[in-house]
Amino acid sequence: MSKSYRLASLSLAIVFAFSWNFGASASAGDPLPSWNDVESKQAIISFVEKVTKPGPNYVPPAERIATFDNDGTILSESPSYVQLAFVIKRVKELAPQHPQWKDKQPFKGVLEGDMKAVADSGEHGVVELVMATHSGMTADEFTSLVENWLANAKHPKTGRPYTEMVYQPMLELLAYLRANDFRTYIVSAGGLEFMRPWTEKIYGIPPEQVIGSSIKTIYEIRDGRPVLERLSEINFLNDKAGKPVAINQYIGKRPIFAAGNSDGDREMLEWTTAGEGPRFGLIVHHTDAQREAAYDRESSIGRLDKALDQAETSGWTVVDMKNDWKVIYPKREKASR
Amino acid sequence: MSKSYRLASLSLAIVFAFSWNFGASASAGDPLPSWNDVESKQAIISFVEKVTKPGPNYVPPAERIATFDNDGTILSESPSYVQLAFVIKRVKELAPQHPQWKDKQPFKGVLEGDMKAVADSGEHGVVELVMATHSGMTADEFTSLVENWLANAKHPKTGRPYTEMVYQPMLELLAYLRANDFRTYIVSAGGLEFMRPWTEKIYGIPPEQVIGSSIKTIYEIRDGRPVLERLSEINFLNDKAGKPVAINQYIGKRPIFAAGNSDGDREMLEWTTAGEGPRFGLIVHHTDAQREAAYDRESSIGRLDKALDQAETSGWTVVDMKNDWKVIYPKREKASR
């Protein structure tokens, strides 16, 4: 693993050097320079000051756990999740070996670009697509696949690398929390091993602080060397009520800060903010059709409905992207080719 | 969780203050003062110096992952695992609610002190015992049960608290590795949530660096508050070939150092030492009948057979407890009442 990670580090470092710069600068002076001086920003800063200063609300660094959803919370999920683009590419690559796919949903829909048919196949269809494209290889081979794909993949609307479609204000928030001795985790429905090759370079979050959905792997000896083989079987779906379960399983501590953007994050915020002492729940509300996308209660991707209601009753902070953020994406300081 | 953890910290801090002192002193001067000046000690120090000094074998701190088995590697498992004592206590407590247990193995064996009958029930029997005693409550309630039990439980042979039955040379090794920017993990077949309440106080290993076997939990709202309920269903058995799988699942990096004492750790050491670059595999060999216990190939607990053969062919370092360690357990600086 370490060799492929080093290769990944090199290529990703070239592509994403700009986002690092931003992450680092966030801790000097105004910790959240891309945020307008609005209620959400004030609430974040007030919370961080409260838990880090001596007093009744002080929280020791070991308990300063912050969990972030990924798609739609740190990274744009519009028009579709980054992992779906990877799935589509893989289905097209593998199609010649599976002639039956051209008559079988959801594969047919992917091959014909009929995303409605794919969506109509439901969770069962998505799981089928993931099984067909993410298994039958070793963990190291999968990591290489993701790295190679990501190095060249472009966002369909902007033409920028997917991993530049990250929210600059959220990078600043991650850096600000870490500067105050928080440990920041990703807790996403996305694939654990799909995210780990790039979260450190893009977000500063190392593999061991990434929690995601996973498929079963087994340990075996192949050609005299041990490998971890990825099976066509779901291990864990890290969504909705699965998120608090996984947080407990991986971290063994209840977060004091959680950020999400959809109903898939509702239970994570509920679990986080139901704990004793100071707690912070944050919802990123996609309100900016011009600079990114506007969607909530009716959206098929990133639906924000029950969680938006609960934000009100539970005192979660709702970030209005259009109003609260000066910029959405990092400025491109360097070309990324 | 945080409240119960704080209570735990308080009571455990009183009981185990002595082991902290030892852990801290290990980093000054000789980093492994309880080790004789033997080959195993020299090999450890030579490895740590090699990976931390600039040169071809340098390993960046982020990749300095060290995984330790628990029972028999850091904590005495003789005459039986600490968790088994907890199971026995729980079975006796719960027996009045389960009158059928007095005629049904493995419960009958536990109630009658017939450990051979329990052992004869095999893995299936052990799983049944764990299900009956570790589920049907919330994660927080289970944590409290473990804490309360541990605060009063005494080792049957020595009369000392179980958590004093820890190997002083291994505490020094953990502290030495951490002083050299290693991250130390427990990777044990023991219960994840059985270990987490006390590993930080005893070993300096926080909950998020503990990997163990687990039962399934679900998230639900009870009396208007969210809880994690423990079900009577195995989630993952973290033993043998499960250990590399869990290491990949939790950490996402291959360790460069792994320590175990039985065939249950063989695959973890194999996976660790098959990686590229400098690697270290360590086997604690129980050779000291007088100061602790002597067992290996024929033992029913902590059997060391295939892994002892493989130590030879794979260049793992075998620690001969009788010959290599000046002391087994920490000196009692304070009474622990």
Q: How far is CA B98 from CA A122, B5, B102, B108, B110, in A?
A: 44, 31, 8, 11, 13
- Domain A2-324: assigned CATH number: 3.40.50.1000
Largest CA distance in chain A: 66
Residue pair B22/B330 in contact by the 8 Å Cβ criterion? yes
B139/A contact by beta carbon, under 8 A: yes
Length of chain A: 337
List, in sequence order, every residue forming a beta bridge with A68; answer none if it has no partner: A186, A259
Between CA B71 and CA B201 the distance in angstroms is: 16
Q: What is the pLDDT of residues A138-183, one digit of tens each?
A: 999 999 999 999 999 999 889 999 989 999 999 999 999 999 999 9
The verdict on a CB contact (< 8 Å) between A207 and B252 is yes
The verdict on a CB contact (< 8 Å) between B274 and A3 is no
Q: Which helix (H) or strand (E) holds B183?
A: strand B183-191
List, in sequence order, every residue forming a beta bridge with A210; answer none if it has no partner: A186
Q: Is the pLDDT of residue A27 over 90?
A: no
A84/B contact by beta carbon, under 8 A: no
| Mutate: best of B208, B214, B266, partner A, most A CBs <10 A | B208
Find the mean pLDDT for residues A311-315: 97
Nearest C-alpha neighbor of B90 from the set B148, B6, B165:
B148
Distance of residue A14 Cα from the nearest chain B Cα, in angstroms: 20
Distance of residue A226 Cα from the nearest chain B Cα, in angstroms: 6
Residue pair B207/B199 in contact by the 8 Å Cβ criterion? yes
Contacts of A274 in chain B (CB under 8 A): 225-226
pLDDT at B23: 42
A239/B contact by beta carbon, under 8 A: no
B4/A contact by beta carbon, under 8 A: no
B251/A contact by beta carbon, under 8 A: yes
A61/B contact by beta carbon, under 8 A: no
The verdict on a CB contact (< 8 Å) between B252 and A208 is yes
B226 vs A2, A242, A270: nearest CB: A270
| Mutate: best of B199, B220, B245, B268, partner A, most A CBs <10 A | B245
Residue B2: partners with Cβ closer than 8 Å, 6 or more residues away: A63, A253, A254, A275, A276, A277
The verdict on a CB contact (< 8 Å) between B207 and A251 is yes
Distance of residue B258 Cα from the nearest chain A Cα, in angstroms: 15
Q: What DSSP string runs through A287-322?
A: E-TTTS-EE-TT-SSS--SHHHHHHHHHTPEEEEHH
Between CA A206 and CA A193 the distance in angstroms is: 12
The more confident residue out of A197 and B18 is A197
The verdict on a CB contact (< 8 Å) between B249 and A276 is no
pTM: 0.91
Q: How far is CA A211 from CA A57, A142, A207, in A?
A: 28, 17, 9
Residue B232: partners with Cβ closer than 8 Å, 6 or more residues away: B131, B132, B135, B136, B215
Distance of residue B141 Cα from the nearest chain A Cα, in angstroms: 14
Structure tokens at B81: 């695992």
Q: What DSSP string runs through A92-113?
A: HHHGGG-GGGGGSTTHHHHHHT
pLDDT at B333: 59
Number of H helices, E strands in chain B: 13, 8
Question: Can you give the pLDDT of all 337 residues of chain B as single tens digits?
Answer: 444 444 444 444 434 433 444 444 444 589 999 999 999 999 999 999 999 999 999 999 999 999 999 999 999 999 888 999 999 999 999 999 999 999 999 999 999 999 889 888 988 898 899 999 999 999 999 999 999 999 999 998 899 999 899 999 999 999 999 999 999 999 999 999 999 999 999 999 999 999 999 999 999 999 999 999 999 999 999 999 999 999 999 999 999 999 999 999 999 999 999 999 999 999 999 999 999 999 999 998 899 999 999 999 999 999 999 999 999 999 875 544 4
B248 vs A139, A206, A270: nearest CB: A139
B250 vs A139, A206, A250: nearest CB: A250
Q: What is the pLDDT of residues A39-60, one digit of tens each?
A: 999 999 999 999 999 999 999 9
pLDDT band at residue A16 using 50, 70 and 90 as cut-offs: very low
The verdict on a CB contact (< 8 Å) between A2 and B254 is yes
Q: Hey, where are the domains in chain B? A: 2-78+165-324
**ipTM for this prediction:** 0.90
- Domain B2-78+165-324: assigned CATH number: 3.40.50.1000
Structure tokens at A140: 């190291």
Nearest C-alpha neighbor of A182 from the set A78, A282, A291:
A282
Q: How far is CA B157 from CA A28, B70, B210, B303, in A?
A: 58, 20, 27, 21
A270/B contact by beta carbon, under 8 A: yes
| Mutate: best of B222, B228, B257, B270, partner A, most A CBs <10 A | B228
The verdict on a CB contact (< 8 Å) between B251 and A207 is yes
Structure tokens at A56: 């009744």
The verdict on a CB contact (< 8 Å) between A241 and B225 is no
Structure tokens at A197: 């090759």
Residue A147: partners with Cβ closer than 8 Å, 6 or more residues away: A4, A7, A8, A11, A12, A197, A198
pLDDT band at residue A300 using 50, 70 and 90 as cut-offs: confident
What sign has the CA pseudo-torsion A245, A247, A253, A255? negative
